[in-house]
Amino acid sequence: MRETFRWNPYADQPHNVATRSERFRRHFRYLGSYFNLVAANMKKVVPGVSLYRRYRKQMYKESVHLGHPFALSLSPVEDRNEDVVSSFLETGIRQSLVRIPSWEQDRLPRYDKFINLLWSNNVDVVISLLQQRSDVLDPSGWEDFIDRVFGQFKERCAFFEIGHAWNRTKWGVWNYKEYLSLARPAFELGQKHGVKLVGPAVIDFEFHLYPPVLREVPFDKVSALLYVDRVGAPENKQFGWDTSAKIALLKATVDVCLSENRDLWITEFNWPLAGTGKYSPASGKPNVTEEEQGNFLVRYCILALASGFVKRVYWWQLVAPGYGLIDSREEEWRRRPSYYALKTMVRMLDDSTFEAKIPHPQAEVFIFAKGKERFAACWTTGPEVDFHFPEGIKQAIDRDGNEISICRQSLTLSESPQYIFYKEVKND
């Protein structure tokens, strides 16, 4: 396989420089590591399956205080960092993630300026450290990089995520042992600098990679880049698993690997947008309309957070032509429907408590409480449904924060989430 690393600045990811046959040959060469993977997972199968079944049974049946779970990934934009930060602050979110690639060490002043702007606005910052193939081949260079980043940003950043999507060869790592060669020195340097680490940043539905990695590296927070965009809506299934089932399995997998409970963060997810051409990070089926993106963003977050198994979710990212909440292709940036959908969801659900999920064959209805208010976040995954609210409706708000006219106790639910506030019950 060629050692070339080529960055795609339009889609914010590496080009896949190897052919499918080259990747297959490389995987075949590392066949021994896959036997080790099997061995590591076999020890966890029985307790993991048992725990998964228990988690699935309790899912959405227990109350969950959400706290402040919403977060956004941000990137510096030359001469427009102020615009990035002001747009971010308007969402009501105060938790961010900033990527720093190892191949941009000479541009650390650029990131320092951007992170300082966030820090001065009381924004929590997590730094994600991105690797390339040369970091595996030259460990001393990787260690110098993370040592430098830890030292420069430890006073302003709460956590550092080690590595990124390393189970995709285009990111320069070809098996889990190579990832461990990057994570182990990061742990040692983390102890030296007194910083907290997040990982292992596995992308997609590949949870078999967690047991051998978590056995070696005691991350302070466990992270997953849990994309479900290739099956469309978050309620759709992949090999029989929808988003809720995947989250329960991920939580069970993590818990059987660790002797003590660790928070689970989803540090990256999104849906790429149709019609954005070279700016889209994917081709074909994963691309959706802007309306669908807004719908799926909200539904994914509610499914993840109401489970009680995910403590924080990061959308990737705020400003990006092919998938971001803001389209930056023109001089005047355009906020997409997903921007307003996220802003509304944060206003509604931040610091709320999930109480229950109402069983219904066609509608998804999640009940929340916040202060003295009780309300439902609801939608359908197919045709519109007329849903009756016996508690009485005081107010209804659509996905983007606009008030919906109420003339009866039933409302038509659609694929676009709505927030329905119940009338207060007066005690005699």
Q: Is the pLDDT of residue 427 over 60?
A: no
pLDDT at 17 over 90: no
Identify whether the C-beta of residue 97 lies closer than 8 Å to the C-beta of residue 124: no
Share of the chain above pLDDT 70, in %: 94
CATH of domain 7-351: 3.20.20.80
CA–CA dist 195, 187 (Å, integer): 9
Which pLDDT does position 111 carry in this prediction? 98
Tell whether the model's pLDDT for residue 57 goes beyond 60: yes
Q: Where in the chain is the domain with CATH 2.60.40?
A: 354-422
Q: Which helix (H) or strand (E) holds 160?
A: strand 159-162
pLDDT of residue 354: 98
Task: Classify 91 as helix, strand or coil.
Answer: coil
- pLDDT of 421 reads 97
Question: Quick one: pLDDT at residue 390?
Answer: 87
Measured distance CA(376)–CA(394) in Å, rounded: 12
Say whether pLDDT at 76 is over 80: yes
CB 336 within 8 A of CB 293: yes
Torsion region of 191: left, alpha or beta (phi above 0 gives left; psi -120 to 50 gives alpha): alpha
Mean pLDDT throughout 405-411? 87
Contact of 169 with 23, CB cutoff 8 Å: yes
Q: What is the pLDDT of residues 30-56, one digit of tens each?
A: 555 656 777 778 888 889 999 999 999
What is the C-alpha separation between 192 and 210, in angstroms, rounded?
A: 25
In tens, the pLDDT along 250-280 reads 999 999 999 899 999 999 999 999 999 999 9
Checking if the pLDDT of 407 tops 70, the result is yes
Res. 428 pLDDT band, cuts 50 70 90: very low
Residues of the chain with CATH 3.20.20.80: 7-351
Average pLDDT over residues 395-407: 95
10-33 average pLDDT score: 71
What is the pLDDT, as a whole number, of residue 29? 65
Which pLDDT band, with edges at 50, 70 and 90, does 1 fall under?
A: very low
Confidence of residue 376 (pLDDT cuts 50, 70, 90): very high
What is the arithmetic mean of pLDDT over 166-172? 93
Angle at 412 between CA 411 and CA 418, to 5 degrees: 80
The mean pLDDT of the chain is 94
**Strand boundaries in 250-360, DSSP class E:** 264-266, 312-315, 326-327, 334-335, 353-358
pLDDT digits (tens, 9 = 90+) for 138-165: 999 999 999 999 999 999 998 999 999 9
Q: 3: pLDDT confidence band, cut at 50, 70 and 90?
A: low
Rg of the chain on CA atoms, in Å: 22
The model's confidence at residue 119, banded by pLDDT at 50, 70 and 90, is very high
Which of the following CATH numbers is that of domain 354-422: 3.90.550, 3.40.190, 2.60.40, 2.60.120? 2.60.40
